[in-house]
Each structure stands twice: as structure tokens, then as C-alpha cells.
Amino acid sequence: MDRAQGEPHRHEAIAFLSSGTPDATAALARLTATYGNVDPDRADVVVALGGDGLMLQALHRFMGSGKPIYGMNRGSVGFLMNEYVEDGLHERLAAAARSMVHPLVMTATDRAGRVSTARAINEVSLLRQSSQVAKVRISIDGRERLSELVADGLLVATPAGSTAYNLSANGPILPLDAALMALTPISAFRPRRWRGALLSDEARVTVEVLEADKRPVAATADHQEIKDVATIEIGMDHETGLVLLHDPGHSLDERILREQFG
């Protein structure tokens, strides 16, 4: 993870996106009347009106485009969003702090041999699909590190995603600029005391599903789910950078730091 620093940017052409809720729809109408609303392909910046779910959708939609995303909270949690204020939007965008995040890339092979690739901004998670707990083998950079984990599942989280599902599963919060990934078990039964691991963001994680016919497992990269997986490889995609904009004093790395102090 890197923080994108530099001179203030001017974002004259704005593309607004709405989550479709009544609050977001009303905000879209008011902001469009004030600032216009250009096609995203011609926009200097994308302003997402909704909650964290919309922000993740926008980041996936514009992945690889280089367009910065600025969220304004018209949803519920809004951890990734800025406060909703209609006035002075051009000035806020010009003064915004830029945070660059890199997604995980997941390559999953299912039991039929089909290969699927997906990217995750928050985490890649593996979860049991039945009443039977999952059994998996974990290797890091081709070396077996855990011969058998018996659990509801496990996940690999980015620093940006470490305060989401990873935190709920008692995983560690990672500073945004830490060159790390969190490997966190979900309701581990055996080894009962294993709490996961911190890995270099250069590491390659391979998970093999054991007894896959009896204990089926699904793999999910953010919102894209692959069922009945047999093997999953996970690593950081350093070639793809996503830029989030936040008001001064409320940058993503500052929010992650504050989360560690309650």
C-alpha cells in the first residue's frame, strides 16, 4: 500500500454515482444541478454517493482506469466515505488527501477443474458450504506452513480491508502503508490456538481444500463467489493501483490508525 502524495489536483469534470437509496438519489439530483454530471469516461474524478458497498463497487468498476474515487456518505457505516456536504465540492476535491491501495488477485480452481480469477480490495475469504467444518492445507511461497486447519474458513486481507471482515474475525488491523497482508482463521477448531499470521505483501498464499467432496468450500473475492473450490492462490496485485480521496485530517490511513484506539 502506498500513499499518493503531490501537488493539489483540480477536478473540474465530475461523474456522480448513486447507490439508489432515497437519500443518495436526492443528493445526486441536487449535486448534478450544481456541478453537472459528466460521463465517467470523461470525468477527472468519480464521486460516489452511498455507503462502503457503493465505494467498493466503484473501485472495482474503475479498476485500472486511474480515476480517483471520492465518496460522500449517504449510507450507513461509511468507513471509506467522507462527510456529505454539498457546498465547495471543487475545493474539497482539490484539497483531498490521496491514498493508493492495491487489490488482491485470487485464482481459484474448482473441483471440476475450472479456473476463475477475481480481485479483492478488502479480502479473499474461504468459507464452508455445508454443516461440515472446512479442512484446508496452507502453503506460503510453495512451502507448506500448516498441514491442516479445521475451521469455518479463513481469509486474506489487505491493509485497507483489515478493519472489515478481518477485524470481525479477530484479525489484526494493518496500517495502510504496511507492506503486509493478514492471514486470519474464521472460528478455528484445530489448531485451536492458531490466530493467523502476518505475511509480506509479496507472499503467495496457496490453500488446498481437503476432503472437498465431503467438506465443500466457497471462495469469495469481495463480492465475487466461486463455489466448490479445490485450490486457491492469493497474492497482491502491485501493478494495479486504486486512488481514494479523503478530506484533510480524515485520510484512510488516519481512519485505520484511529480504529486501533477505539
Q: Is 52 annotated as a binding residue?
A: yes
Q: Does the annotation list 66 as a binding residue?
A: no
The reply to whether 163 sits in an annotated binding site is yes
**57 among annotated binding-site residues:** no
160 is in an annotated binding site: yes
Task: Determine whether the annotation assigns residue 165 to a binding site.
Answer: yes
Distance separating the N- and C-terminal Cα atoms of the chain: 23
Q: Is residue 168 marked as binding?
A: yes
Q: Is 26 annotated as a binding residue?
A: no
Is 158 annotated among the ligand-binding residues?
Answer: no
Active-site pick, 23, 39, 41, 52: 52
Cis peptide before 191 (omega within 30 of 0): yes
At position 135, the amino acid (one-letter code) is K
Question: Is-catalytic flag, 23?
Answer: no
- Is 82 marked as a binding-site residue? no
**Residue 260 and residue 2: Cα distance in Å, rounded?**
20
What type of residue is 223?
H
The catalytic residue positions are 52
Q: Residues comprising the binding site for NAD(+)?
A: 52-53, 122-123, 152, 160, 163-168, 224
Q: Residues comprising the binding site?
A: 52-53, 122-123, 152, 160, 163-168, 224
